[in-house]
Structure 1
Amino acid sequence: MFKPSWAAVLVASCCFTVQAEESIEHISVYANRTPTTTSEVLASVTVLDRADIVERQAQDLPALLAQLPGVNLSRDGGRGQNSGLYVRGGNSGHTLVLIDGVRSGSATLGYKALAMLPLEFIERIEVIRGPRAAWYGADALSGVIAITTRKVDGAELNANVGSFGQAGADVSLSQQVGELNLSATAGYSRADGFNVRKDLDPDRDGYNQRFAKLAADYQTSLGLWQAQFDINSGFYQFDTAWGTEDQADTLNRSYLVGWQHQLGQWQHQAQLSRVLDDDTPYGPVSRSPFVTERDEFSYQTSSAITENLNWLAGVNWYSENVARSGVNYVTDGRINRALFSGVNFKQGSVQLDGSVRRDLTDEYGGNNTWQLAAGYWFTDAWQLRASRGAAFKAPTFNDLYYPGFSNPELAPETTLSDEIAIHYRVANGSIQLAWFENDVDNLIQYDSVSNQTLNIEQAKISGVELVIEVDVAGIQQSFAYSWIDTENTLTGQRLVRRPENTLNWRAAHSWDKLSAYITADYQSNTYQGEFASSEYLGGFTLWGVGTSYQFSSALTIRAKLDNLFDKKYQSNASYTTAGVNFGLSLSYRPQ
């Protein structure tokens, strides 16, 4: 059971105190497309900076995200293997992933595979729960995960080892030359892994990857100019009952040029990018490449029209193409054009947000999305907010044209979402209680009876989130509870792999040079589907501990144990998961 963490949260909830000084607050960059303190964002947002990411010592990005409110994880094994991420009960493809503001992910798959995106590459993560299609267009039905890659000030070296042959190292450097700042990051990571399906190949399933980034910022009288190049390549191994392919080569490459300029009261921003996503499964007798490319251009401008009213508007254009594949697609490219605009009004205790977007896609014509939100501050500590938003997702190239199960008659998925939340903030912590409901029309799912992808008439997702963060006597505690009810209204069944209850608890304390933490993560049983090897999987609780010690201002060593009590569990039927495992890492930053 989960009694220790329940006790912890009961203690925490009684220990809020009002202090003279306000706590330092995170800034949300992507919730409103402009930097805004999280207390003024009328949405549920979690922000992790680099220090937060490092202190949590997660094994990979999916494991880190699964510790956050409203996020559930389904794994096909361990690090490097495929994982499904469900924000507020939506499909994996219902969460838009932005990397440095650029739409990311495979156009054939329909979402960004996060298992091979190294944490060593990441400076900042922002998770916005709830629809944001009025700002970002298709795919932002359940939320947005916005990732900012690293730009180190000075030099940094990191190295790590762990269970199952895990080992990695990365180095980052930067140099200021007048108004020009140059930075670079390069790294390597690998693991032998473990056998993820014991009923298939009796082998270990590991991964190997290399990654690098080059970036330059140049400040001129005409604004800040930015350019960067990222590459992440490698391979991962997996087990499947569908054929002989049991490995995959991966390559992700992106080019970005950006410009920002403040001209009077007007802030201008433009960005041009190209992203390549290559995932090529192969085996002894076959090879199946899936290579997609996306070119994107965005421009936005914003201004304070009055002391209380801010306005933002912009344009967005992107082209998606299947550059190479092992099968023939009837259509292998499409273009999306969009206009968006929004306002923010704040006076006294009242705040109002509104945004609207018009997308025009080659295959589906126009789609209109919108978002309305209102907030009211009863006191400096208490806030009530409510929002409603519409979103859509176009079918992927695989949904429409992949031979064998595709359906060219599919309609886009559309959603209408509501949220009501109350938030209490004081200097040593905060409490947020949120209710949400998401009605999905034309939900796209594979039907095993007809062997075809179909639109479900309707699905309904509703839930409650409770998030508590508090510092009591130097012990920083965070607690997140989510209750999610999902239903395919055609069959009456729950949507697969969405546990009804999840709990995440973390407590950390720092002494002079030593810090330590303990975590507990629980999820209830999950429906896996009528034809899965196990229709339901049981619930489980995973415990973890970790510590760090700062030998000097330049050198820090960290250690952790995950799945402390060696719990045997599954989050996806047939796939095994890691037992108790350790990690050891070192960070060196010369002063």
Structure 2
Amino acid sequence: MFKPAFAAVLVASCCSVAADDSVEHISIYANRTATPQQEVLASITVLERDDIVARQASDLPALLAQLPGINLSRDGGRGQTAGIYIRGGNTGHSLVLIDGVRSGSATLGYKSLSMLPLELIERIEVVRGPRAALYGSDALAGVIAITTRRSKAVELNANVGSYGQAGTDINVSHSAEQLTLHASAGVSRADGFNVRKDLDADKDGYNQKYIKLAADYQTTVGQFSAQADVNSGFYQFDTSYGVEDEADTLNRAYLLGWQHQLGQWQHQALLSRTLDSEATFGPGSRSPFVTGRDEFSYQAASDLTDSLSFLAGMNWYHEQVDKSLTAYEQTSRINRAVFTGVNYQLNALQLEAAVRRDLINQYGGQNTWQLAAAYQLAEHWLVRASRGTAFKAPTFNDLYYPGYANPDLKPEESESDEIAVSYRNAGLVVQLAWFDRDVTNLIQGVEQAENVLLATIEGIEFSVEQQWQQFSSTFAYTWLDTENASTGKMLARRPENSINWRGSYDADKWSAFVTADYQSTTYQGMDWATGADLPLAPAHTVWGFGVSYMVNTALTVRAKVDNLFDKDYYTSDSYATAGTNFGISLSYSPR
């Protein structure tokens, strides 16, 4: 049951402290063009590198779980599988872009974020709500757009913590006239803890290493860029399916980009090749899965007049299964798409529209569209409304994996509405949004994939950001009502009520913060063997605390404690979560 007293305490705290709104955030991905955050007709959150570092989250899933409208379920600790649910959507209903490139496994149908190191991330933009009219398949619930590091100076970092956690990374940059070079590299590992005591007595840890090389070259015909990323690792896990309980991972990405301002037109092109590899293994067995994606995108944008802006582009990608445990009936498919969007502003009124046509060689055409309108009620008040459609093509596993496949599956489709009102001034941002989404042909199943006739998702997001002198705070409350219309049951692992609060104090050389994250009791779905409902995950509140101290202009020390009061809880049935744990980190960057 939701605890109103707990919410009242946090709301009261928000009225006296909150987050710094003095720096204007720019959205890059919500409209595919750089737009001031307050002018975007969607619910978005932007975290810059300083925000990411200040939060001292243990990993990327833990960081995302602090944001409005996002819930997390995880099968253990750092390195183990984590499910990210934006506004009640499935993990696969959120498109993950890394440096503008579609990312994720073609067999699973989503990007696993557990082994994507925070140390490699410069910026995160989360768009809540459909964006298929600009990005195509997968963006039913939202978009998670990640920009990797391009440090402008030498930077060294190191960290140690509970459960044998240790890591170090380095970032360097060099400029010479028109050429700029960037490099990042790091290693990380942990012994972990036993995530399923009923299965194995061992600890479940991880290790990984990564390297990134990038170059930008400015010419009279635009800026050319090249980039290569390699992220490899290993993690242990516990499962009741078979005997395999370890996995090797490898992710590679190669990018070539070009952008050029020609008159009033901004041109961009991006060519990429990505590889997603995971091989699970155990005594006497090994299950490899390797998928690849080649992608090309081009777009042109222009402010045609002071009131009207225009965007148009094309997108092509080829997905394929390069290696698998078993033979798939089909191992590749091609998607071709064109899209366009317009934005019109006249005095207090702003209108926005986008449409996209995707041609998938297995399904033919898919049309998606998005409409939005906003009106400035007063100097600080804005009301907006939007409606959009989206789809997700079935994955290779859904269609062709032996014993589970269903070649007759239809793409998942959705129609979403949102109405929001916001108040914004120099020290206070308050936002209230209602959203509603109907998903038809939702793909579910244990023994075989099948289309569910209808799933409904409705919710409310309320957030407050406020700055008062050296105190700041962010507060977010999300209410969700989900239903599988075929069974009348809720969708699994989506808590009805969740709260995230963070209060901080910043002095000249030091700062401190306190966090509190609450989830109500949560439906966990059905037992795959018996068909009976699993026990509800109990409600819980997890507190955290952190400090940082700037020793000098080059050296900063940070320390944190997660799960401060050693709360015993879980977000995925039978899987343990970390108890009280600490971390200490050093950052060195000579000026």
Give the TM bin, normalised by the shorter chain: over 0.9
Structure 2: gaps spanning 5 or more residues? none
Residue pair 2:18, 2:473 contacting (<8 A) in 1 also: no
Within 2, Cα distance between the matches of 1:374 and 1:13? 30
Residue matched to 2:569 = 569
Residue matched to 1:223 = 222
Residue pair 1:349, 1:376 contacting (<8 A) in 2 also: yes
Q: CA deviation at 1:11?
A: 4.7
Residue matched to 1:194 = 193
Residue matched to 2:9 = 7
Number of residue pairs aligned between Structure 1 and Structure 2: 585
Residue matched to 2:101 = 102
Query: What are the equivalent positions in structure 2 for 1:170-181 lying under 5 Å apart?
Result: 170-181=169-180
Within 1, Cα distance between the matches of 2:317 and 2:56? 36
Secondary structure, aligned partner of 1:51:
helix
Secondary structure, aligned partner of 2:287:
coil
Q: Residues 14 and 240 from structure 1, CA distance in 2 versus in 1: closer, same or farther, beyond 3 angstroms?
A: closer
Residue 489 (structure 1) aligned with residue 502 (structure 2): no
Within 1, Cα distance between the matches of 2:17 and 2:511? 22
Within 2, Cα distance between the matches of 1:65 and 1:16? 19
Superimposed CA distance per residue, residues 415-436 of structure 1 (whole angstroms, 9 cap, x where no aligned partner): 0000000000011020000000
Within 1, Cα distance between the matches of 2:221 and 2:467? 45
Residue matched to 1:464 = 460
Q: CA deviation at 1:6?
A: 2.7
Residue pair 1:78, 1:196 contacting (<8 A) in 2 also: yes
Residue pair 1:2, 1:522 contacting (<8 A) in 2 also: no
Q: CA deviation at 1:13?
A: 3.8
Residue pair 1:302, 1:313 contacting (<8 A) in 2 also: yes
Pick the aligned partner of 1:478 from 471, 474, 477. Answer: 474
Superimposed CA distance per residue, residues 138-185 of structure 1 (whole angstroms, 9 cap, x where no aligned partner): 000000000000000010000000000000000010000111000100
Q: CA deviation at 1:22?
A: 8.0
Pick the aligned partner of 1:502 from 494, 498, 501. Answer: 498
Residue matched to 1:258 = 257
Residue matched to 2:544 = 544
Query: What are the equivalent positions in structure 2 for 1:61-76 lying under 5 Å apart?
Result: 61-76=60-75
Residue pair 1:540, 1:569 contacting (<8 A) in 2 also: yes
Within 1, Cα distance between the matches of 2:127 and 2:229? 24
Structure 1: gaps spanning 5 or more residues? none
Superimposed CA distance per residue, residues 243-278 of structure 1 (whole angstroms, 9 cap, x where no aligned partner): 111100000000000000000001100000000000
Root-mean-square deviation (CA), in Å?
Answer: 1.4
Amino acid at match of 1:583: G
Superimposed CA distance per residue, residues 490-547 of structure 1 (whole angstroms, 9 cap, x where no aligned partner): 0000000000000000001111101000000000011111217833111100000000
Residue pair 1:544, 1:563 contacting (<8 A) in 2 also: yes
Amino acid at match of 2:351: L
Residue matched to 1:397 = 396
Amino acid at match of 1:203: D
Residue matched to 1:311 = 310
Residue pair 1:383, 1:424 contacting (<8 A) in 2 also: yes
Residue 54 (structure 1) aligned with residue 50 (structure 2): no
Residue pair 1:478, 1:507 contacting (<8 A) in 2 also: yes
Amino acid at match of 1:541: T
Superimposed CA distance per residue, residues 8-34 of structure 1 (whole angstroms, 9 cap, x where no aligned partner): 4235347899xxx98322000000000
Within 2, Cα distance between the matches of 1:268 and 1:113? 31
Q: Residues 122 and 14 from structure 1, CA distance in 2 versus in 1: closer, same or farther, beyond 3 angstroms?
A: closer
Within 1, Cα distance between the matches of 2:357 and 2:29? 19
Superimposed CA distance per residue, residues 68-105 of structure 1 (whole angstroms, 9 cap, x where no aligned partner): 00000000000000010000000000000000000000
Residue matched to 1:282 = 281
Secondary structure, aligned partner of 1:567:
coil
Query: What are the equivalent positions in structure 2 for 1:176-575 lying under 5 Å apart?
Result: 176-446=175-445, 448=446, 451-531=447-527, 534-575=534-575
Residue matched to 1:589 = 589
| TM-score, normalization by structure 1 | 0.97
Residue pair 1:23, 1:426 contacting (<8 A) in 2 also: no
